[in-house]
Amino acid sequence: MELLSTKVLIIGSGAAGYSAAIYAARANLEPIVVTGMQPGGQLTITTDVENYPGFVSIQGPELMEQMRLHAEKVGTRIVDDEIKSIEQLEDSDEYRFRSSGYTNNYCSAAIIIAAGAQAKWLGLESEKKFQGYGVSACATCDSAFFRNKVVAVVGGGNTAVEEAIFLTRFAKEVILIHRRDKLRAEKVMQDRLLKNDKIKVMWNHTVEQVLGEENPKKVTGITIKSTETDKAQELRVDGVFIAIGHAPNTGIFKGFVEMDQQGYIVTKPGTTLTSKAGVFAAGDVQDKVYRQAVVAAGTGCMAALDAEKFLES
């Protein structure tokens, strides 16, 4: 078993992790990035990215590969591994980590947690099949692809209502599908949604299947079922937005740093500092508002600068 020691260990390899690595490497901190279960993060399941500055259009996996190459070029060591446990050594300022399968141990003086978050999905095979081809969990990211088209939004909370309203800027019709007979969203948001002529609400329905074509690969509709009568019907839609929430990948940090009730890591306002000295959080593990790659990259930069300042002191 190899012990890999570094000044800064970065957990996660999305936009936040790679940006942190680039800045840390340029500061001669010799960072190690442990990629985690999904190297490249959520952008690896995204097709066209048209809102990342500097790229008019780029495939999500290609963008993440460019970030990885950039991080490696400036001196980052990248290990395709997964951290399973973390502890602070007694009478020491250093942290020790164990990886998946205990193939490696890691030791560092500072940690940048950039493990990201995952959208909550319905769990349908057809949903997974068309992710990136009409099935999305981010209206802000993908709404422009559905200009003058019909889209469905699944959910009943603030996120679903906000995404449905946002989509009306582009789509000609938005169908909100909710399994209950009332929304969980804030009253003011409900009022806005129900007054919007572009939005139709399908109460007491669940999505059973996403329908689509193979060549070219695209969504053509959904099958929904009534929770009251079990009657199924097909709806013709060009896109499906799943808006039933996100879950940060922070399970192994529970009890290690302060988190909110939803499991997001709490950071000091205007910084990436967590409740534990030498531990910093960037990207979707601490951002439940914006959830954009460019924001994650910015906080990754902040985390590296905060870590550099900590190590200097």
* Confidence (pLDDT) at 159: 85
Q: Is the pLDDT of residue 306 over 80?
A: yes
Among 243, 259, 290, the domain boundary falls at 243
Last-in-domain residue among 228, 243, 258: 243
- What is the structure's pLDDT at 140? 82
- Whether 113 and 77 share a structural domain: yes
Model pLDDT for residues 215-241, shown as the tens digit of each residue: 999 999 999 999 999 999 999 999 999
Mean confidence (pLDDT) of the chain: 94
Residue 224 tokens read as 């929904």
What are the structure tokens assigned to 105, written together?
Answer: 């141990």
Number of domains in the chain: 2
Please tell me whether the overall predicted TM-score, pTM, comes out greater than 0.85 for this model.
no
pLDDT, greater one: 148 or 59? 148
Of the residues 81, 138, 238, 301, only one is catalytic, namely: 138
How far, in Å, CA of 257 to CA of 265, rounded? 7
Residues 92 and 160 occupy one common structural domain: no
60 and 21 belong to one structural domain = yes
Do 169 and 89 share a domain, yes or no? no
Catalytic residue among 141, 238, 301, 306: 141
Same domain, 81 and 19: yes
Residue 207 has pLDDT above 90, yes or no: yes
Query: Using the 8-state DSSP alphabet, how is residue 264 labeled?
Result: P
Number of CB atoms found within 10 A of residue 59's CB: 16
Domain match, 143 and 111 both = no
Same domain for 210 and 258? no
Question: Is residue 137 located within the same domain as residue 109?
Answer: no
Q: Are 241 and 163 in contact (CB under 8 A)?
A: yes
Q: Which of 211, 243, 275 is the last residue of a domain?
A: 243
Same-domain check for residues 207 and 255: no
Q: Which residues of 130-150 are buried (b: 16+ CB within 10 A; e: fewer)?
A: bbbbbbbbbbebbbebbeebb
Instruction: Kindly report each contact of residues 260-269 with a partner whose C-beta sits within 8 Å and lies 24 or more positions away, as own/partner.
Output: 262/288, 264/288, 265/113
**Overall average pLDDT of the 242-257 stretch:** 93
- Mean pLDDT, residues 3-23 taken together: 96
Q: Can you name the residues that pair with 214 across neighbouring β-strands?
A: 217
> Using one digit for the tens of pLDDT, what is the confidence trace for 253-286?
999 999 999 999 999 999 999 999 999 999 999 9
Residues 280 and 196 occupy one common structural domain: no
- The per-residue pLDDT for range 145-173, each reduced to its tens digit, is 999 999 999 999 988 998 999 999 999 99
At 97, give phi and psi (nearest 5°).
-130, 145
- Verify whether residue 107 is a known catalytic residue: no
CA–CA separation, 26 vs 56, rounded Å?
27
Nearest to 283 by CA among 95, 29, 5, 36: 36
Structural domain boundaries enclosing 103:
3-118+247-312
Any idea which residue has 């319905």 for tokens?
122
Put residue 80 in one of left, alpha, beta given phi > 0 → left and psi -120 to 50 → alpha: beta
For residues 124-134, average pLDDT: 95
Please compute the mean of the pLDDT values over residues 52-76 and round it to a whole number. 95
Residues 270 and 301 in one domain: yes
142 as an active site residue: the answer is: yes
Is residue 13 located within the same domain as residue 158?
A: no
The packing angle between helices 15-26 and 293-312, to 10°, is 40
pLDDT tens-digit series, residues 70-119: 999 999 999 999 999 998 877 777 898 988 765 678 999 999 999 999 88
Q: Does 42 score more than 90 pLDDT?
A: no
15: CATH:
3.50.50.60
CA 183 to chain centre: 24
| Catalytic option among 48, 81, 107, 142 | 142
Residue type, 170: F
